[in-house]
Amino acid sequence: MNYLKITALFFSAFVLLSASCEGQKTNEEELPGDTLPPVETEKPNNPDFKPAFEGQTRVAGVKTTTPYEAVIINDELKKPWAVTLLPDGRLAITEKGGTMRIATTDGNVGSPITGFPEVDDRSQGGLLDVAPAPDFNNSRMLYFTFAERTPQGSLTAVGKGRLSDDETKIEDFSTIYRAIPYYDNSMHFGSRLLFDKEGNIFITTGERSDLATRPNAQKLDKAHGKVIHITSEGEPVSDNPFIGTEGALPEIYSYGHRNPQGLDIHPVTGELWISEMGPRGGDEINLIKPGKNYGWAIITYGIEYSGEIIGEGITQKEGMEQPVYYWDPVLSPSGMAFYSSNAIPEWENNLFIGGLSSKHIARLVIKDNKVIGEERLLADEGQRFRDVADGKDGALYAVTDEGRLYRIGKK
């Protein structure tokens, strides 16, 4: 295997260009320097769409001043989709075809782990996210999302199984949840999975892309285009917002989503955040609140891939939540992680999002639930960044569709 080191040393300064932040303290204020323009310089797909508030898009650029390096520690993965920390600091990595690998933080990747049911790995499907159970050290249980295909169609499913003692297979795999209804295509499965502090599970689902299924994001009797909240056994969490609502699925936590592929909990506030793919423009970062409607496909900052307007061509509507931040042109946001370490002090509590078609990792500086700075990392690598994980060693780990595993940390 070839190892390639890419060292990125940034000594440009960092000042925020935002009137809303004037006079406020941030963890970057001690860094001297000049004002930086927004990182996005291309024209928006629809220049008639205007942000709902200052700083909702094209916020001031920032530059990391701490010397850091990005190292390709493995380049032999096969279509990886998720990279997740195990309690011992190693990395669990899923591969779309239906296998999982365990990697050390120096890039030693184990043999493919089997034991999964057949997955629908067409297009955007496959074996997708992975998360260890909170009691993994004792139970060795892992939870997964995957695209399940049956004669009825396909859907986003959640399963669990025990990692064998010799780490060669998943034992006694069982499916605990299915995001109904089935639909026969291979698009927009969403599929990030995350445990909350109570040991319950958040899952994101897509609205399955087609015009026929797009309205399901607004329907409470369908699990498409939702954030789902279930127990570790697949049952609705007892205080979910639609418990007892006639005609509503009790597992729904929020709705009106398009294709959310990023999910994380802020390390300080404990709040739930997602990244969400828009169509042509209109990619979003959303702060998720129980029971709220995030608007797709009634409001959006994007347009159809054909260039046509979506719906009534509106970006705001009463009763529907605005994104904290959006991109136009797109980032194509996939997996994301908050950086919880202070090894690189200016990154602490920043959000890092893998960009697919944009081929970079976006760093967002967030204060008081608003984005106040944006930086593009690894933009010269030419890679589709599928997922980002916050390591236990003060580094970030990222996987790409092309099969690379990166370690990004202090030099």
Q: Quick one: which of 193, 281, 262, 270 has its CA closest to 234?
A: 193
Q: Which amino acid is at 190?
A: G
Cα–Cα distance, 224 to 226 (Å, whole number)? 6
CB-based burial, 346-383: b 16+ in 10 Å, e otherwise: bbebbbbbbbbebbbbbbbbbbeebbbbbbbbbbebeb
Q: Which residues pair with 95 in a beta bridge?
A: 80, 99
| 64-97 tens-digit pLDDT | 999 999 999 999 999 999 999 999 999 999 999 9
Q: What is the pTM of this model?
A: 0.92
Q: What percent of the chain has pLDDT over 70?
A: 91
| pLDDT confidence of residue 4 | 40
Catalytic residues: 188
Per-residue burial over 33-66, b if 16 or more Cβ lie within 10 Å, else e, is eeebeebbeeebbbeebebeeebbbbbbbbbbbe
Query: What pLDDT was estimated at residue 5?
Result: 40
Minimal CA–CA distance to 347: which of 334, 359, 361, 360? 361
Separation of alpha carbons 162 and 116, rounded Å: 11
Given a cut of 70, whether residue 143 has pLDDT beyond it is yes
- What amino acid occupies position 276? E
Radius of gyration of the chain (CA): 20
Domains identified in the chain, total number? 1
Q: Is the pLDDT of residue 253 over 60?
A: yes
Whichever domain contains 145, its CATH number is: 2.120.10.30
**Neighbour tally for 153: CB within 10 Å:** 14
Question: What local confidence, expressed as pLDDT, does residue 200 receive?
Answer: 98
Which residues is 352 bridged to in the sheet? Answer: 337, 363
Contact 20, 54 (CB under 8 A): yes
Specify the pLDDT at position 104.
Answer: 98
Q: Of 352, 343, 348, 397, nearest to 374 (Cα)? A: 352
Domain that holds residue 397: 4-410
Q: In the prediction, which pLDDT does 231 show?
A: 98
Looking at residue 145, what is its pLDDT?
A: 98
Q: How far is CA 18 from the centre of its chain?
A: 26
Q: Please give the average per-residue pLDDT across 272-286, as a whole number.
A: 98
